[in-house]
Amino acid sequence: MTTCLATVRREPCPEPTTRTPLCDSHLAAASASVPLLVHDYRDLEQLLPKPIGQRLDEYHTFRPRSGPPSEASVPIQLNIEALQAEIWWLATVWAEVLADVQRLADPPMHVRRGHAVQWAVQLIAPRCEVLARIGEVELVTYPHADPEVAVRFRSVELIKIKGAQGLLDLASCHQRARSMLGLTEPTYVLPGRCQSRACGRAELRVKDGSDSVWCDHCRAVMTRDDYDRMGNLFLRPMEAA
């Protein structure tokens, strides 16, 4: 078993992997996020201004591998359009990769982006574990890719990305969309250190009104009553094993 590909603050997840490069917790969380991207894309569109006679969701030829997400066209809402474009690009790219691997039907051509996202999500959602098992795939100008690992070829940047990373990136899009839509709950930092013997980090968190306290590093969970009952124990550094 190896460590999970998912990272928290650039540190490897302490939970070991089993069936894929992701631990079971991150695989389950990412798999639950993917089906919601269709709703995220649609709900984000409601935040955009729609000039008379102009539609945001114009027709596009389905060629996701031809380049990066397109630039936003409405200056006042650059962040929203950019996230929509990223959802479309990531979903359609990884759906096409899956279609190639499993020899599924070709992607639809000349469809609106919203329809392309729906097709892609419907293809990926029941195959998240398959996607997580796919090895490195060479793609063009991948969003948020590390420039140090990209290879410049003429006018484009080529980068090799694993399917598991693609699944994490799709899940990240869902979380960012929830934040933009105001659907995330307030989260507070609690004093003290995680009491898991494999962790000991000072990264305890609780959501407003929630009865659960968790470690933002190892994801260990306890009740708020247990946290309060143990008191000063959480303020002391974890003793060496």
Provide the pLDDT confidence category of residue 73 given band limits of 50, 70 and 90: very low
Average model confidence (pLDDT) across the chain: 80
Q: What token pair was written down for 167?
A: 């699944």
Regarding pTM above 0.85, the answer is: no
Stretch 11-26: mean pLDDT: 80
Region of residue 194 (left: phi > 0; alpha: psi -120 to 50; beta: else) = beta
Stretch 58-85: mean pLDDT: 59
Q: Who's near 236: CB < 8 A, 6+ residues apart?
A: 193
pLDDT given at position 147: 72
Provide the pLDDT confidence category of residue 202 given band limits of 50, 70 and 90: confident
Higher pLDDT, 132 or 203: 132
Phi then psi for residue 105, to 5 deg, are: -65, 150
Provide the pLDDT confidence category of residue 138 given band limits of 50, 70 and 90: very high
Phi then psi for residue 151, to 5 deg, are: -115, 125
205: nearest Cα among 181, 221, 229:
221
pLDDT digits (tens, 9 = 90+) for 75-127: 446 788 899 999 999 999 999 999 999 998 888 888 999 999 999 999 999 99
pLDDT given at position 181: 84
pLDDT given at position 241: 37
pLDDT given at position 172: 92
pLDDT digits (tens, 9 = 90+) for 159-196: 999 999 999 999 999 989 988 888 766 677 888 888 88
166: nearest Cα among 132, 130, 120:
132
pLDDT given at position 156: 77
